[in-house]
Amino acid sequence: MAALTTFKPPPGTETFGLVTLEVKNMTPKPERIGLTQIWLRNAAGSPYLAAATASVPDNLLKMAIPPGKTVTGTLVYPTPAKATGYLLVYRFDDAKGIAKAKHVGLLRYAS
């Protein structure tokens, strides 16, 4: 992954979380990470969505992920303050209809 020396947070953002993830596409077709597919949630459960306007190298929201391949990239989450919590992750199949999701993953983080 490229260094974050060219990183620019979304406009008006002072506090944010940078999350570097490795994502594997286990579907038979190319996929893209959707805005509601990976949520940052603080310990109280408040959700934050990745910023589509973040200028960061290897932005996962802008990558096409070929079938069967793994990519590494970054997501930027504007937040009101530093926090501890987790990432809530939906599969590609469930991302478009999260109310009917069959599988949800959790990843813990600390500020």
pLDDT in tens, 14-43: 888 888 889 899 899 999 988 888 888 888
The structure tokens listed for 95 are 């991302």
pTM over 0.85: no
% residues pLDDT > 70 (the chain): 77
What is the domain partition of the chain in residue ranges? 4-8+25-79+91-109
Sheet of strand 38-42: strand arrangement: 47-48, 38-42, 85-90, 104-109
3-state secondary structure of 26: coil
CA distance linking residue 7 with residue 13, whole number of Å: 13
3-state secondary structure of 84: coil
